[in-house]
Structure 1
Amino acid sequence: MFLKKKQRVLELTDTIIEMVGILNQIQDPSQELSDCLMALDIIAEQLMQEEELSPLLIEQFNTVQSSFVMYYENLKELTGDNLSETLAQLISLVSLIKDTINTKLNIVFFPYKVSMWDSLSTVYEAAKNDENCVVNVVPIPYYQLAQDKAIPTYEGDRFPEDVKITHFDDYKLEEQEPDIIFIHNIYDNYNTLTRVYDEYFTSNLKKYTDMLVYVPYYTASFIPYKKGGFYPYHSPAIDNIDKFILAHNKEKEIALEEGIQEDKLLVLGSPKLDIMYRSLNSKHEYPEEWKEKLDGKTVYVLNTGCMYFAVNPFVALEKLIDIFNIPRFVENSVILWRPHPLTEISILKYTPYFSGYFSNLLDNGINGNDPLYKGIILDKTDDYMNALLLADVLITTDSSILRSYLLTEKKVLFWDEKAPKDSLVPENAFYYAYSKSEPWYELVKKFPEGYDPLEQNRIGVGSQVYVNSDGTSGEKIFREIKAALQGRRS
């Protein structure tokens, strides 16, 4: 029996026990007896859904039910001795329900974008491997928000084959009443690029569960957020969340400064780092069409965020083209460009006049036969891990991809002049694209020759910032949430 439903059965038995204590004090307890019989019917209905029931439990339940039928039909049977006996029967019934009915947890994961599933996947694995859990993964529909339209989108058919998917039409929240809900998006109706369907807003999900858990789709930055400067911390949805998973201790300090209740906060790392950690020691397959272009080359992975073209897109394009020129002056090199999955929708939302230029860049430039782009590979796959494992150098600003990449301890060309202020990553762990002493166009010529004076500075830098960066975050999140829920229900 699922935990929440078992608790409801026990609450009903407690109510009946309380009623037994006052029945003989009521002049006409017919209504109260009717209520008790109705409660017993509800309990019976729940018990009948169990595959196996102890014969002793069935016998004890029938005895209790018969006693209340007797009282209802003949109020004179409401004697002190009879009620004492019924009380003992009820106490025995409660013990049998607690001890003989196996308690399971009803758990559901509500991811929305497949590219963000890595933020939940190792939590899912831990839950799936627990024999006392029933787990559903229900990818939820969402809208891509352009300037004048909302585009319905569903990605459930793109999830990994080893993840059993339940279609959202087949999962009824009001019937399931899950014990635990895991989500990675709490933006509700406040997001500007995407919006999940209304029924999956946190305000609605909270109606059906006692444990709504937010595991962010991003890995928290190693650059501490300023007070009021990071939306999730002051999102109205935080009030609906029971537990908020944080990646490092500094993040908790800032969340507390923002006024988030401490009992909501669990510093347990990021499942995204679990995926990176595992991938370091496993073989990864990448698209066949990449192999010829990559073979024997120095791979520069270029990462751009979802808002890269949202402000001054032509200036952004010019900077991009500069980097695209690397294969033209660095022999045996290639650019693997991974634009954020929401890049196109952000262009439609904020700079629609640039949409045609962007499409032309992709279709006629990189994916076409333009010789200027023959050294560029466009990565629009759902799995960013390929790019990070193939990279010799990552060119990026601060991003979730960079935070995962820290675990590789490979070279980073940070797309700025110097380190961000108050960074938890030492300044001398990165190279800087716009450094006056050693700019990017000089560095990229040296890297293929083995130039890397900062190599030692990167060792262990990821684990210095992020907790449980050894591949155990998802397992620990699951265990902590399970313990918290069971402690709350005990």
Structure 2
Amino acid sequence: MIKIGEFIESLEGEGTKTVALLERYYESLYPIAEEIETIDISFYKRLQKQLITIENSIKSEFGAGKIEVAFLPYNASMWDSLESIWLAAKKDPQCDAYCVPIPYYELTRDRRLEKMHYEGADCYDDHVEITNWREYDIRTRRPDVIFIHYAYDDMAGNATIHPEFYSKILREYCECLVYVPYFITSASTIEEYSASLPGVLYANYVMVQSEAIRQSYIRHYKKFNEEHSLNFCFGKAEEKFVAMGSPKLDKAICSNESDYELPLAWRQLICKENGEKKKVIFYNTHMFVWLKNGERYFRKIHSVFETFKNRKDVVLWWRPHPNTELNFRVSRPDLLKEYMKMVEAYKSEGWGIYDDTSDLHRAVAWSDAYYGDGSSVTELFKVTGKPLLLQNALYQPSNRSQYAVELVDFYDDGEYLWFAASNYNALFRMSSSKWEPEYMGTFPGEKANVAWLFGLVVCNNGILFFAPYNAECICTFDIGTKAFGTIELLLPAPEQIEKGFSAFSVGKYVVFTGYSYPYIIRYDTETCTSDYCEISLEKGKMRHTMGQRYFARGYQTEEYLILPLVSRDEIFRYDVQTNLLERIYCGKARQGYYDIDFDGSSFWLAPKDGSAILQWDGYSQNMKRWCEFPKGYVCPEEFGNNNICCVGSDVYLFPNNANMVLRLDTKSGRISPATEFQSEAEAEKDEIIANWFHAKIVSNLIYALTMRPSSFSCYNIQTGQLRQEQILLDDRTGEQMKLLRQAACQEAFRDCVGQGNFCETPLVDVAGFCDFLQEDNLGCCGNAPSTNHAGDAIYAYVRARIG
């Protein structure tokens, strides 16, 4: 009897009803040994009744329907991806649920196990009962179900879970292995490799957040299966991937400020002297964005800190990705010291909250808004209904002049340069000699919060026409009457951004070429009507996809536009009179082109990858490559060069991300740095992704527009003189633009009601976001769902499939 009780306790632990009944039965048997001859029949019946009670208890507590489920989180901060499933299992009287955190290791560069990390009971809330991994022998216990949230096993470059817990091994010791991703995404697709990670392959079920994500997994999984001739040995795709929602959202929706205590120092930062709570902004820095941008990202964070340091109305709650330090140590040890220095400085200054705990949801519950890189955390904030501003790591507002105005292109009427600002919804003109901008008005019908409304501008019969880059419509301005106008796009745009960049004035027509917009628009200035020419890249197919880009710039002849394609090694000719588009060159290179110019005998092209300067005769299928670049020239493969300008026998190439403006002497074949522009090319690119954005020739002048704030250059080809200035507004106009910027912020954050978030731009930055939060606008960002039951649904689904 005693041995039976001990055996039950070894399996089920202390406190079971059955063991208590066995103990009482044992106590009832003791008198029998003393007075067996005097025991009456009623006593015997009582013993028999006790045995029946014990039998029923055994059936109830340890019946065939009872299962054992093990949850194996490796990182406590990611426990939220499993917790609501665990809670559902705990509620099931026919289930024994165990939370068994497992250790993980940092990896050396040669992939040896180094430092071990174990986040045990101290890292979890008190209500989560933790079983030490050394005390739970999976091989002996063989649980019915194992839930995991880490699928990489030994495939990650920086760390690995303990090899005993690789998914291939776990699959052997349970009836059902279930993988629930520790992350959620705002996208509708996943990276292709995600569908072939070990944890995905060996899992019986993969629980995903939505049907769109499920279909993405299925596509990539089937592709992997076919490429490796696996014959679906890891399971059928439609059965393996199940869309049940994410438990992470369960936690976010159910968490409130009152659920979490704060350290005294944090509470003192958050509360004003009158006891009111300041606005709290959750600041999330993602490790991969940091590693990718390196030193530039450090400068970005410093600028963010400067924005918050002296504000008394908001508090920054900085919570770096939990694996940031580990990734610096493994992947960028050269930056680890700088990272640790930044963290220690932030903590010691004491003006903001530094949170490296495992309790993500405390930060979500106490925060009023989100600012930072895109990650799973943004999705948590969306379901809470709180506003979000996604950080632009390349933009640093602290380096901008308060009254600087930026432009993409201009039209020179001989007296004034006319331009639409790229950082305001505003039209300006300035004397071609003084460069002092005069505000002419705002484009009607266009939003104040959209940067880069327009691309290039042309003039036809005294009317300016602006190409709709991010604008809703083609906009016009009559120089004589000072009247604004609009030309609507008659055919729908697949994307609302980067519609068209270039515009050309050809006789009575103004032609706009599509960038993401899959049409060329020919506007007749006499009849005020528009004709559309569809851009067809595949013969016989009119198929346009998201992300497709067509024409950036082109070259204009008397009858035609010569248009190089951005996405492919192809060139088209557009007949303005007939409104027909024809492919005239089709090469085999992988790159497309951003610009083309003509020197009188040859066309010259700027390839997107910056690998060469290309010369084309205009009719053959061959191009000559000029690629003997000067020493020290560095150009990335993507977005290398931007503009090309022909000046006599010289060809100028202006860089996007390359580090030199180049001049090709077509007589000698020598490529050299164009030193007259080199100061800008070498300038540190704190805020932007490009050095030079647009260059054009007007008479004997080369105008070049840099993406550095407001820097406008004019090079006189004859005299060799360079004029370079910032375009600054006077105080009165600057105050007008300041009001426009404030209106832009308000408009942008209210627009995010349906979107859930807004991306930081030169018009809408974190300082404006802080101002927005002070005006009791938190309620404008949509209603959060009151409940979410992914954990219950996932557990019920798996429970029903266990034999």
Q: Alpha carbon RMSD of aligned pairs, Å?
A: 3.0
Runs of 4+ with deviation above 6 angstroms: 49-52, 417-423
Is 1:200 matched up with 2:526? no
Aligned to 2:756: 429
Deviation of 1:456 (Å) = 4.3
Distance verdict in 2 for CA 1:135–1:329, change over 3 Å: closer
Which one-letter code corresponds to 1:310 in the other structure?
Answer: L
Aligned to 1:224: 188
- Normalising by structure 1, we get a TM-score of 0.70
**Rg bigger for which structure?**
2
The secondary structure found in structure 2 opposite 1:186 is coil
Which one-letter code corresponds to 2:793 in the other structure?
Answer: K
- Normalising by structure 2, we get a TM-score of 0.44
The whole-number CA distance in structure 2 between the counterparts of 1:171 and 1:334 is 43
The whole-number CA distance in structure 2 between the counterparts of 1:475 and 1:287 is 33
Which one-letter code corresponds to 2:798 in the other structure?
Answer: I
The whole-number CA distance in structure 2 between the counterparts of 1:303 and 1:420 is 28
Matches within 5 A, 1:321-470: 321-328=302-309, 330-363=311-344, 365-369=345-349, 374-416=350-392, 428-434=755-761, 436-450=762-776, 456=780, 458-460=782-784, 470=787
Deviation of 1:172 (Å) = 1.5
Deviation of 1:275 (Å) = 0.8
Deviation of 1:257 (Å) = 1.1
The secondary structure found in structure 2 opposite 1:380 is coil
> Is the CA contact 2:386–2:781 (under 8 Å) kept in the aligned structure 1?
no
1:255 to 206, 217, 226: 217
Distance verdict in 2 for CA 1:348–1:134, change over 3 Å: same
The secondary structure found in structure 2 opposite 1:140 is coil
The whole-number CA distance in structure 2 between the counterparts of 1:105 and 1:240 is 21
More helix by share: 1
Distance verdict in 2 for CA 1:277–1:118, change over 3 Å: same
More strand by share: 2
Aligned to 1:477: 794
Question: Residue by residue, what CA displacement relative to the aligned partner does 1:206-237 show, whole Å, maximum 9, x if unpaired?
Answer: 11112000111112x121226xx243212143
The whole-number CA distance in structure 1 between the counterparts of 2:764 and 2:127 is 46
The secondary structure found in structure 1 opposite 2:92 is coil
> Is the CA contact 2:257–2:365 (under 8 Å) kept in the aligned structure 1?
no
The secondary structure found in structure 1 opposite 2:319 is strand
The whole-number CA distance in structure 1 between the counterparts of 2:204 and 2:369 is 39
Aligned to 1:272: 248
Question: Residue by residue, what CA displacement relative to the aligned partner does 1:341-386 show, whole Å, maximum 9, x if unpaired?
Answer: 10000111121111111111122x11224xxxx4322111211112
Question: Residue by residue, what CA displacement relative to the aligned partner does 1:161-211 show, whole Å, maximum 9, x if unpaired?
Answer: 222222111111221111101111111110123211111000000111120
The secondary structure found in structure 2 opposite 1:407 is helix
Distance verdict in 2 for CA 1:175–1:328, change over 3 Å: closer
The whole-number CA distance in structure 1 between the counterparts of 2:285 and 2:266 is 20
Aligned to 2:118: 154
Which one-letter code corresponds to 1:401 in the other structure?
Answer: V
Which one-letter code corresponds to 2:106 in the other structure?
Answer: Q
The secondary structure found in structure 2 opposite 1:126 is helix
> Is the CA contact 1:326–1:335 (under 8 Å) kept in the aligned structure 2?
no
Deviation of 1:287 (Å) = 2.2
Is 1:180 matched up with 2:145? yes
Which one-letter code corresponds to 2:347 in the other structure?
Answer: N
The whole-number CA distance in structure 2 between the counterparts of 1:303 and 1:230 is 26
> Is the CA contact 1:146–1:346 (under 8 Å) kept in the aligned structure 2?
no
With a CA cutoff of 8 Å and minimum separation of 6, indicate the structure with the bigger relative contact order.
1
- Structure 2, unaligned runs of 5 or more: 1-6, 13-17, 20-58, 223-236, 273-277, 396-449, 451-494, 498-545, 548-751
Distance verdict in 2 for CA 1:324–1:281, change over 3 Å: closer
> Is the CA contact 1:326–1:334 (under 8 Å) kept in the aligned structure 2?
no
Which one-letter code corresponds to 1:155 in the other structure?
Answer: E
The whole-number CA distance in structure 2 between the counterparts of 1:247 and 1:216 is 9
- Structure 1, unaligned runs of 5 or more: 1-44, 53-96, 464-468
Is 1:303 matched up with 2:284? yes
2:107 to 145, 154, 157: 145
The whole-number CA distance in structure 2 between the counterparts of 1:352 and 1:278 is 39
The whole-number CA distance in structure 1 between the counterparts of 2:201 and 2:759 is 40
Distance verdict in 2 for CA 1:459–1:230, change over 3 Å: farther
Aligned to 1:28: none
Distance verdict in 2 for CA 1:430–1:321, change over 3 Å: same
Which one-letter code corresponds to 1:459 in the other structure?
Answer: N
The whole-number CA distance in structure 2 between the counterparts of 1:445 and 1:263 is 49
Is 1:289 matched up with 2:265? yes
